Chain A
Amino acid sequence: MIATLARSKRLAQQPPVSRNAGDKRYRILETQMKRHQFKQDALIEVLHKAQELFGFLDNDLMTFVAQQLKLPPSRVFGVATFYHFFNLKPKGAHSCVVCMGTACYVKGADKVVAALERYAGIRAGDTTPDGKFSLATARCIGACGIAPAVVYDGVVTARQTPETSLAMVKGWLEHGS
């Protein structure tokens, strides 16, 4: 009785690979895993590739990785949430990463974060409900000489203040550029 129950539960959870048979990105990801011989300790590299391909890691994708590497889902989730680098939700159209490393912090990065949080109405690590803007923080991006450093859509920018960062983000959000 119990055995039947457990079985039907498993069957209900279709492997995402068959659901997404048409999506080429899954095949690219699989090739990447093959390159690592489906080794379980390649999990981080595989998640990197997955995020590069899909932009973020959703449950289907993490389940797929878990199944292919024969790992329990909880391990994949644990690793994906431990590193700030991985996103579990889609990133906004524009993104801003404020460095909160020691040098940047001393030069006032916390004030930049506070100003942006207040303006966008979200906490660092989140995306606005309209999907337009994501705010994140990082630990020392290796640009201490130009502290406080902020990365706007992938471009490292020197010596930011609450004013300069607000101007930048307002430009994105209010003029749709």
Chain B
Amino acid sequence: MAAKTLTIDGQMISAEENQTVLQAARDHDIPIPTLCHLEGVADVGACRLCLVEIAGTPKLLPACVTRVAEGMVVTTNSERLRNYRRMILELLFAERNHPCAVCVSNGHCELQALAMNHGMDHVRFEYRHPRLELDLSHRLFGMDHNRCILCSRCVRVCWTIEGAGTKSVAGRGAASRIVTDLNQPWGESTTCTACGKCVQSCPTGALFYKGATVGEMQRDRDKLEYIVTAREKQQWIV
């Protein structure tokens, strides 16, 4: 496979030709924050947290869906990027309800961790405080739409790893929701195999095991990578 040489944050690196900027950076331990990206699942560029600057384009580009190119000069951590990332995080917090202190994912939440890493000590936008439903109809899992950031990870694991197609994003804009089948209660879904991959994939406290209480919801992301590697490479790396 042809190699491409590019510069990320002043460091010359070589990457495989169809790698994304994110993969190339991570291979060289250059951190880029992400939220909708999930190892092993197709990227959609939904959260915009991984935006980077690329010399020669005025636009900021999402590293998770931008392919490397010969001679590319990438900046992953400028003042401008830090400002935008912080703003994106604040908007996510303002959009739905994220009271960490009473959340099942407190202490294990990707949104919370990112906010702390970006020094987000307050939110400059008005909170929308929507009243969203809580679906506890499934015998094993629960979904709290108040915590959902619409990253669509659960939808993508459900479609591409489990293959069941139970979940989807319905509606548009601020009214978007994650639904099961034809928007019936999760417990009544005829397609859900109760595999729990969506619960493993969720970055926040939106999807959880029933019975988990504050701060108890820890996820085992390695399980997802384990399955993907096994499927794609026929390698079972325990």
Q: What residues make up the interface of A, taking CB atoms closer than 8 Å to B?
A: 9-10, 13, 59, 62-63, 71-78, 81-82
Contact = CB atoms under 8 A, between A and B. Distances in A.
Interface in B142-171: 164-171
A62 B167 CA distance: 15
Closest 9 CB pairs of A and B: A72-B165, A74-B168, A78-B168, A81-B170, A73-B181, A73-B182, A77-B182, A81-B171, A78-B170
Interface of B: 164-172, 179-183, 190-191
Given A63-B182, A77-B181, A77-B183, A72 B191 contact: yes
Nearest to A76: B182
A59 to B, nearest CB: 5
Contacts of A9: 190
Contacts of A72: 164-166, 168, 181, 191
A82 B172 contact: yes
Given A72-B168, A74-B165, 7 more contacts: A59-B182, A72-B165, A74-B182, A75-B168, A78-B168, A81-B170, A82-B170
Given A81-B171, A82-B171, A82-B172, A74 B179 contact: yes
B164 to A, nearest CB: 7
Interface of chain A, main secondary structure: helix
A76 B190 CA distance: 15
A62 to B, nearest CB: 6
Contact of B167 (A13, A59, A74, A76): A74
A72 B183 CA distance: 12
B14 to A, nearest CB: 38
A152 to B, nearest CB: 26
A76 B191 CA distance: 14
Contacts of A13: 190
Contacts of B167: 74
A162 B179 CA distance: 37
A75 B181 CA distance: 8
> Which of A10, A73, A74, A82 counts the most chain B CB atoms within 10 A?
A74
B180 A74 contact: yes
A73 B158 CA distance: 13
A77 B190 contact: no
Contacts of A81: 170-172
19 contacts: A10-B190, A63-B182, A72-B181, A72-B191, A73-B181, A73-B182, A73-B190, A73-B191, A74-B166, A74-B167, A74-B179, A74-B180, A77-B168, A77-B182, A78-B169, A78-B179, A81-B172, A82-B171, A82-B172
Nearest to A82: B172
Contacts of B190: 9-10, 13, 73
A158 to B, nearest CB: 29
B172 A77 contact: no
Contact of B165 (A10, A63, A75): A75
> Which of B164, B179, B182, B190 counts the most chain A CB atoms within 10 A?
B182
Contacts of A73: 181-182, 190-191
Given A74-B165, A74-B166, A62 B182 contact: yes
Contacts of B172: 81-82
A136 B164 CA distance: 34
